[in-house]
Amino acid sequence: MKYVKSRLNLNNMKEYIDNELSKLDRGVIATPTEKYLEAFSKANNGSNDFLLMQMAKNYGYQLALLNIKDKINGY
C-alpha cells in the first residue's frame, strides 16, 4: 500500500501521539527524565531491576513518540 501524504492522516497521527504522551505520566510507573533514570540506576545498586526496566521502556517509548511528532510537524 502506497503512503499518501494527507493532512487528515497527519492530524490523526498527531492526535494519537498527543494522547499516548499524555498517558505516560498517568500510569502505575511514570515516565522518568533521562537524568532521573540515570540517578535511579546508580542509587539502586541492582535492586528494583524490574522497576528500572519499566521506567526505561516508558522513556524509550516517549522518545520515539516525540521524534515521530517532530517529523510530522516538519511536513
Predicted local distance difference test score (pLDDT) of residue 7: 63
Within 10 angstroms of residue 31's Cβ, the number of other Cβ atoms is 21
Predicted local distance difference test score (pLDDT) of residue 8: 63
Q: Which residues contact 73 (CB under 8 A, 6 or more apart)?
A: 14
Sign of the torsion angle spanned by Cα atoms 52, 61, 23, 67: positive
Predicted local distance difference test score (pLDDT) of residue 41: 81
Cell of 22: 499524555
Predicted local distance difference test score (pLDDT) of residue 60: 92
Read off the DSSP letter of residue 32: P
**Over the chain (75 residues), what is each successive 10-residue block's mean pLDDT?**
60 90 79 84 78 87 93 81
Q: What is the pTM of this model?
A: 0.69
